[in-house]
Amino acid sequence: MRKEKNSNLSIKIIKSVYDVYTPTDYLINKWASIALNNSKDCFVTIKLASKSEIRLLNKKYFNKNKSCNVLSFPCNENISTGEFILGDIVICPDIVDEESRFYGLKKKNRWAHMIIHSMLHLQGFTHKSKQKQIIMEKKEKELMYTLGFSDPYYAN
State residue 48's pLDDT score: 97
pLDDT at 80 over 80: no
pLDDT 10s digits, 18-76: 889 999 999 999 999 999 987 778 899 999 999 999 999 999 999 999 999 999 999 97
Q: Can you give the residue ranges of every domain in the chain?
A: 2-146
Comparing C-alpha atoms, which of 89, 54, 92, 57 is closest to residue 74? 89
Q: Write down the architecture of domain 2-146 according to CATH.
A: 3-Layer(aba) Sandwich (3.40)
Residue 3: pLDDT band with limits 50, 70, 90: very low
The answer, yes or no, to whether residue 4 has pLDDT greater than 60, is: no
Confidence at residue 117, expressed as pLDDT on a 0 to 100 scale: 97
Kindly indicate the confidence band of residue 1, based on its pLDDT and cuts at 50, 70 and 90. very low
Percent of the chain with pLDDT over 70: 92
Q: Which of 17-21, 50-54, 89-93, 137-141 has the lowest mean pLDDT?
A: 17-21
How far, in Å, CA of 149 to CA of 26, rounded?
Answer: 17
Residue 5 reports pLDDT greater than 60? no
pLDDT at 7: 62
Question: Which stretch of 12-16, 76-80, 150-154 has the lowest confidence by average pLDDT?
Answer: 76-80
- Report the b/e string of 14-33 with b at 16+ CB within 10 A: ebeeeeeebbeeeebbbbbb
Given this model, what pLDDT does residue 21 score?
Answer: 94
Instruction: Report how far apart, in Å, the C-alpha atoms of 2 and of each of 13, 71, 136 are.
Output: 5, 20, 29
Say how far residue 120 (Cα) sits from the centre of its chain.
8
